[in-house]
Amino acid sequence: MKKNLSYLDSVHRDGRVWGFTLLVLIIAFPIAVSLCFGAGPEWGPMAKALLAVLPMYWAVGVVEIFTYVPMLGAGGAYLSFVTGNISNLKLPCAIDAMERAGVKANSEEGEIISTISIAVSSIVTTFIIILGVILIIPISPLLSAPVMQSAFAQLLPALFGGLAVVFVSKNLKLSIAPIILMLVLFIFVPALNAGTVGIMVPVGVIFTLIVARIMYKKGML
Protein backbone atom coordinates (compact mmCIF):
# COMPACT_ATOMS: atom_id res chain seq x y z
CA MET A 1 0.00 0.00 0.00
CA LYS A 2 1.40 3.38 -1.01
CA LYS A 3 2.15 5.66 1.91
CA ASN A 4 0.68 9.17 1.70
CA LEU A 5 3.37 11.81 1.99
CA SER A 6 2.92 14.87 4.17
CA TYR A 7 3.09 18.30 2.56
CA LEU A 8 6.69 18.90 3.63
CA ASP A 9 7.76 15.41 2.54
CA SER A 10 6.28 16.01 -0.91
CA VAL A 11 7.97 19.44 -1.06
CA HIS A 12 11.37 17.90 -0.30
CA ARG A 13 10.79 15.08 -2.81
CA ASP A 14 9.74 17.39 -5.65
CA GLY A 15 12.36 19.98 -4.71
CA ARG A 16 15.18 17.44 -5.00
CA VAL A 17 13.83 16.13 -8.32
CA TRP A 18 13.60 19.59 -9.90
CA GLY A 19 16.87 20.71 -8.35
CA PHE A 20 18.81 17.80 -9.85
CA THR A 21 16.92 18.22 -13.15
CA LEU A 22 18.01 21.85 -13.32
CA LEU A 23 21.60 20.86 -12.50
CA VAL A 24 21.62 18.37 -15.38
CA LEU A 25 20.13 20.94 -17.79
CA ILE A 26 22.64 23.62 -16.79
CA ILE A 27 25.56 21.24 -17.34
CA ALA A 28 24.05 19.78 -20.53
CA PHE A 29 23.72 23.12 -22.34
CA PRO A 30 27.44 24.03 -22.62
CA ILE A 31 28.25 20.40 -23.41
CA ALA A 32 25.65 20.39 -26.22
CA VAL A 33 26.94 23.70 -27.61
CA SER A 34 30.54 22.40 -27.54
CA LEU A 35 29.55 19.22 -29.36
CA CYS A 36 27.44 21.03 -31.96
CA PHE A 37 30.13 23.57 -32.85
CA GLY A 38 33.12 21.35 -32.16
CA ALA A 39 34.62 24.00 -29.90
CA GLY A 40 35.61 22.57 -26.56
CA PRO A 41 37.13 24.68 -23.80
CA GLU A 42 40.84 24.97 -23.14
CA TRP A 43 41.08 23.00 -19.91
CA GLY A 44 44.19 24.70 -18.53
CA PRO A 45 42.86 28.30 -18.53
CA MET A 46 39.43 27.01 -17.54
CA ALA A 47 40.84 25.23 -14.48
CA LYS A 48 42.74 28.37 -13.43
CA ALA A 49 39.59 30.47 -13.77
CA LEU A 50 37.54 27.98 -11.78
CA LEU A 51 40.10 27.83 -9.00
CA ALA A 52 39.88 31.61 -8.71
CA VAL A 53 36.08 31.81 -8.38
CA LEU A 54 34.82 28.44 -7.15
CA PRO A 55 35.87 28.81 -3.48
CA MET A 56 33.84 32.01 -3.20
CA TYR A 57 30.76 30.52 -4.84
CA TRP A 58 30.95 27.32 -2.78
CA ALA A 59 31.11 29.39 0.40
CA VAL A 60 28.26 31.66 -0.70
CA GLY A 61 26.18 28.66 -1.76
CA VAL A 62 26.53 27.01 1.66
CA VAL A 63 25.83 30.27 3.50
CA GLU A 64 22.77 30.98 1.36
CA ILE A 65 21.23 27.64 2.29
CA PHE A 66 21.38 28.45 5.98
CA THR A 67 20.36 32.07 5.37
CA TYR A 68 17.48 31.82 2.93
CA VAL A 69 15.74 28.59 3.96
CA PRO A 70 14.61 29.88 7.40
CA MET A 71 13.37 33.07 5.71
CA LEU A 72 11.60 31.42 2.76
CA GLY A 73 10.51 28.04 4.07
CA ALA A 74 11.22 24.73 2.36
CA GLY A 75 8.94 25.14 -0.65
CA GLY A 76 9.92 28.75 -1.23
CA ALA A 77 13.62 27.91 -0.93
CA TYR A 78 13.48 25.05 -3.46
CA LEU A 79 11.51 27.18 -5.93
CA SER A 80 13.80 30.18 -5.44
CA PHE A 81 16.99 28.19 -6.01
CA VAL A 82 15.51 26.72 -9.19
CA THR A 83 14.24 30.01 -10.62
CA GLY A 84 17.08 32.23 -9.31
CA ASN A 85 17.39 35.96 -8.55
CA ILE A 86 16.67 35.37 -4.86
CA SER A 87 18.09 38.44 -3.13
CA ASN A 88 16.83 40.94 -5.72
CA LEU A 89 13.36 39.55 -6.32
CA LYS A 90 12.21 36.32 -4.67
CA LEU A 91 13.24 37.16 -1.11
CA PRO A 92 11.64 40.64 -1.00
CA CYS A 93 8.48 39.27 -2.63
CA ALA A 94 8.14 36.37 -0.16
CA ILE A 95 8.91 38.50 2.90
CA ASP A 96 6.40 41.15 1.88
CA ALA A 97 3.71 38.54 1.19
CA MET A 98 4.22 36.84 4.57
CA GLU A 99 4.33 40.22 6.31
CA ARG A 100 1.01 41.22 4.77
CA ALA A 101 -0.53 37.84 5.65
CA GLY A 102 0.82 38.03 9.21
CA VAL A 103 2.51 34.61 9.07
CA LYS A 104 6.01 33.27 9.73
CA ALA A 105 8.12 31.24 7.31
CA ASN A 106 8.45 28.35 9.78
CA SER A 107 4.67 27.88 10.00
CA GLU A 108 2.50 25.87 7.62
CA GLU A 109 0.72 29.03 6.53
CA GLY A 110 4.05 30.75 5.94
CA GLU A 111 5.27 27.82 3.84
CA ILE A 112 2.24 28.09 1.58
CA ILE A 113 2.24 31.90 1.33
CA SER A 114 5.98 31.98 0.60
CA THR A 115 5.76 29.29 -2.08
CA ILE A 116 2.75 30.89 -3.78
CA SER A 117 4.31 34.37 -3.77
CA ILE A 118 7.58 33.10 -5.26
CA ALA A 119 5.69 31.05 -7.87
CA VAL A 120 3.63 34.09 -8.88
CA SER A 121 6.80 36.19 -8.95
CA SER A 122 8.46 33.66 -11.26
CA ILE A 123 5.44 33.56 -13.58
CA VAL A 124 5.24 37.36 -13.73
CA THR A 125 8.99 37.60 -14.37
CA THR A 126 8.75 35.06 -17.20
CA PHE A 127 5.80 36.93 -18.71
CA ILE A 128 7.64 40.26 -18.54
CA ILE A 129 10.74 38.70 -20.15
CA ILE A 130 8.61 37.31 -23.00
CA LEU A 131 6.93 40.68 -23.41
CA GLY A 132 10.32 42.39 -23.36
CA VAL A 133 11.69 40.10 -26.06
CA ILE A 134 8.69 40.89 -28.26
CA LEU A 135 8.82 44.65 -27.66
CA ILE A 136 12.58 45.16 -27.33
CA ILE A 137 13.01 46.67 -30.81
CA PRO A 138 10.05 49.10 -30.69
CA ILE A 139 10.86 50.40 -27.21
CA SER A 140 14.69 50.41 -27.51
CA PRO A 141 14.84 54.18 -28.22
CA LEU A 142 12.81 54.87 -25.07
CA LEU A 143 14.87 52.53 -22.86
CA SER A 144 18.17 53.94 -24.10
CA ALA A 145 17.12 57.55 -23.52
CA PRO A 146 19.41 59.30 -21.00
CA VAL A 147 16.44 60.39 -18.88
CA MET A 148 15.53 56.74 -18.23
CA GLN A 149 18.97 55.66 -17.01
CA SER A 150 18.62 57.49 -13.72
CA ALA A 151 15.27 55.79 -13.10
CA PHE A 152 16.66 52.31 -13.82
CA ALA A 153 19.54 52.93 -11.41
CA GLN A 154 17.05 53.47 -8.56
CA LEU A 155 14.96 50.32 -9.00
CA LEU A 156 16.77 48.15 -6.45
CA PRO A 157 17.28 50.94 -3.89
CA ALA A 158 13.55 51.71 -4.12
CA LEU A 159 12.62 48.05 -3.67
CA PHE A 160 14.86 47.40 -0.68
CA GLY A 161 14.18 50.86 0.74
CA GLY A 162 10.47 50.10 0.96
CA LEU A 163 11.15 46.83 2.76
CA ALA A 164 13.74 48.44 5.02
CA VAL A 165 11.27 51.04 6.30
CA VAL A 166 8.94 48.29 7.51
CA PHE A 167 11.55 46.10 9.19
CA VAL A 168 13.75 48.87 10.56
CA SER A 169 10.74 50.50 12.22
CA LYS A 170 9.90 47.20 13.92
CA ASN A 171 13.47 46.41 15.03
CA LEU A 172 15.12 49.80 15.39
CA LYS A 173 17.74 48.74 17.96
CA LEU A 174 18.72 45.64 16.04
CA SER A 175 18.88 47.40 12.68
CA ILE A 176 21.53 49.97 13.66
CA ALA A 177 24.53 47.58 13.64
CA PRO A 178 23.95 45.96 10.21
CA ILE A 179 23.14 49.34 8.63
CA ILE A 180 26.41 50.79 9.92
CA LEU A 181 28.34 47.69 8.79
CA MET A 182 26.97 47.84 5.23
CA LEU A 183 27.49 51.60 4.97
CA VAL A 184 31.11 51.26 6.08
CA LEU A 185 31.78 48.34 3.73
CA PHE A 186 30.22 49.89 0.63
CA ILE A 187 31.74 53.32 1.26
CA PHE A 188 35.28 52.27 2.15
CA VAL A 189 35.64 49.07 0.08
CA PRO A 190 35.46 50.16 -3.59
CA ALA A 191 35.36 46.56 -4.84
CA LEU A 192 31.85 46.15 -3.42
CA ASN A 193 29.10 47.19 -5.83
CA ALA A 194 25.65 46.16 -7.05
CA GLY A 195 27.09 42.90 -8.36
CA THR A 196 28.07 41.78 -4.86
CA VAL A 197 24.58 42.09 -3.34
CA GLY A 198 24.07 38.32 -3.52
CA ILE A 199 27.19 37.82 -1.41
CA MET A 200 26.61 40.63 1.06
CA VAL A 201 23.03 39.65 1.94
CA PRO A 202 24.11 36.39 3.67
CA VAL A 203 27.01 38.25 5.32
CA GLY A 204 24.61 40.86 6.66
CA VAL A 205 22.19 38.20 7.92
CA ILE A 206 24.90 36.28 9.80
CA PHE A 207 26.29 39.51 11.28
CA THR A 208 22.79 40.55 12.39
CA LEU A 209 22.16 37.16 14.02
CA ILE A 210 25.41 37.45 15.98
CA VAL A 211 24.58 40.99 17.09
CA ALA A 212 21.04 39.96 18.00
CA ARG A 213 22.37 37.10 20.14
CA ILE A 214 24.76 39.42 21.98
CA MET A 215 22.09 42.06 22.53
CA TYR A 216 19.61 39.43 23.73
CA LYS A 217 22.08 38.05 26.29
CA LYS A 218 22.73 41.58 27.56
CA GLY A 219 18.98 42.23 27.90
CA MET A 220 18.92 44.89 25.20
CA LEU A 221 16.20 43.14 23.19
State residue 93's pLDDT score. Answer: 87
Residue 90 has what DSSP assignment?
I
Terminal CA-CA length for the chain: 52
Q: Mention every residue, 6+ apart, whose C-beta is less than 8 A from residue 13.
A: 5
Cα 7 from Cα 112, distance rounded (Å): 10
Mean pLDDT (whole number) for 187-209: 75
State residue 196's pLDDT score. Answer: 65
Mean pLDDT (whole number) for 166-191: 81
Cα 75 from Cα 11, distance rounded (Å): 6
**What Cα–Cα distance (Å) separates residue 23 from each residue in 34, 55, 83, 101, 192?**
18, 19, 12, 33, 29
Does residue 150 have a pLDDT over 70? yes
Q: For 108-124, how does the pLDDT look when each residue is reduced to its tens digit (9 = 90+)?
A: 888 889 999 999 999 99
Residue 48 has what DSSP assignment?
H
Where residue 1 falls among pLDDT bands split at 50, 70, 90?
very low
Cα 33 from Cα 37, distance rounded (Å): 6
Angle of helix 91-101 versus helix 155-170 axis, rounded to 10: 40
User: Average pLDDT, whole number, for the chain?
Assistant: 82
